[in-house]
Amino acid sequence: MTGETIYLTGFMGAGKTTIGKKLGEELSMTVVDTDKMIEEICQKKISDIFKEDGEVRFREYESRILKSLSLKHAIVTTGGGIINSQENRRFMKENGIVIYLHCDPKVILRRLRDDTTRPLLEKNKDKTVVNMLDARLPYYLEADYTVNTTMKSVDTIITEMTHFLNRYSFCWAQHK
Ligand SMILES: Nc1ncnc2c1ncn2[C@@H]1O[C@H](COP(=O)(O)OP(=O)(O)OP(=O)(O)O)[C@@H](O)[C@H]1O
Ligand SMILES: O=C(O)C1=C[C@@H](O)[C@@H](O)[C@H](O)C1
Ligand SMILES: [Mg+2]
């Protein structure tokens, strides 16, 4: 690998945290999860941050944490809404490689059916997932690479990603 930071983006339930952890093991890279960092720093769960501080404040914490990470050879698994900020999108592109994990809304809903930890999915889960993904899709697609995770096992996704990263680092080395 190039020593660059890999940013994983995607909708809630696309598997950023799950895939990031496995990819980190596979490539011996440090993995940092922005949601987990926010929870650690604030000493409270994301759902409580949304309730007590509000979403606007949460987005401020998220952007601040993203920009405070000065990592080399690391994977950053991001919160699903990090791409709503143009500044965050530009920061990730300038500081590493952005990989978007796409997932069909039906599969997202299946994965998160019983989940109660995502405050934005507390009401009208079905409609919210479809509408929110639709609105965010152009931002997600600004990524350097897209992996469709729909109906794929974690191992298959990791294989696809490592193939891409190997090709990418070969091209990168040639242009150095
Ligand atoms: N490829 C997959 N196949 C089946 N289940 C998966 C897959 N990837 C993730 N999951 C499951 O989906 C759920 C959500 O995954 P995960 O927490 O990694 O999503 P996320 O993208 O990090 O979401 P968020 O943006 O809310 O942090 C978990 O229960 C996880 O085990
Ligand atoms: O998609 C989103 O806006 C979110 C995704 C999660 O990762 C958390 O960052 C939070 O629940 C908000
Ligand atoms: Mg996550």
Enumerate the domain spans of the chain.
5-174
Backbone angle region of 22, left / alpha / beta, with phi > 0 → left and psi within -120 to 50 → alpha: alpha
20 lines ligand 2 (CB under 6 A): no
ipTM of model over 0.90: yes
Q: Which CATH superfamily is domain 5-174 in?
A: P-loop containing nucleotide triphosphate hydrolases (3.40.50.300)
- Helix, strand, coil tally for the chain in percent (to 5): 60, 15, 30
Q: What tokens were used for 25?
A: 């093991």
Residue 94 CA, ligand 3 centroid: distance in Å: 22
- pLDDT single digits (tens) 120-148: 999 999 999 999 999 999 999 999 999 99
Place 3 in a pLDDT band, splitting at 50, 70 and 90. low
State mean pLDDT over 18-41. Answer: 96
Residue 103 CA, ligand 1 centroid: distance in Å: 10
